[in-house]
């Protein structure tokens, strides 16, 4: 049986208490609700507070959490996924990541 393979993992702990964490894994079969072979969780927030998150949990497919609002995300490439996420984080942080 094929195994999941970590593609990317990074965590940044900012001086102001914010956390940026990105995990992307190549999976042998797509996560239910997604049409690609990646499982990902991109998080920006604080301990106990999700400010922004991109993920593709089983059954929901690709989506974005902005506070309590959840919207669909159209996945194209892993590069675009990371660029979109970091662009939003940059806006939230006033220009820096």
Q: Which residue has the higher pLDDT, 2 or 92?
A: 92
- Specify the pLDDT at position 96: 82
Residue 97: pLDDT band (50, 70, 90) is: confident
Residue 97 lies in a domain: no
CA angle (37, 65, 15) in 5-degree steps: 100
**Number of structural domains in the chain:** 1
pTM greater than the 0.85 cutoff: yes
Does residue 79 fall inside a structural domain?
yes
57 bridge partner residues: none
19 located within any domain: yes
- Answer yes or no: is 82 within a domain: yes
What share of the chain in percent tops pLDDT 70? 99
Domain residues for 47?
5-92
């Amino acid at each position: 049986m094929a195994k999941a393979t970590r593609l990317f993992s990074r965590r940044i702990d900012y001086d102001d208490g914010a956390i940026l964490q990105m995990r992307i894994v190549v999976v042998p079969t797509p996560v239910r609700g997604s049409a690609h072979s990646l499982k990902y969780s991109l998080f920006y927030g604080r301990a106990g507070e999700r400010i922004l998150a991109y993920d593709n949990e089983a059954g929901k497919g690709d989506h974005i959490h902005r506070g309590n609002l959840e919207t669909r995300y159209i996945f194209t490439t892993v590069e675009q996924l990371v660029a979109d996420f970091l662009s939003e984080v940059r806006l939230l942080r006033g220009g820096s990541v």
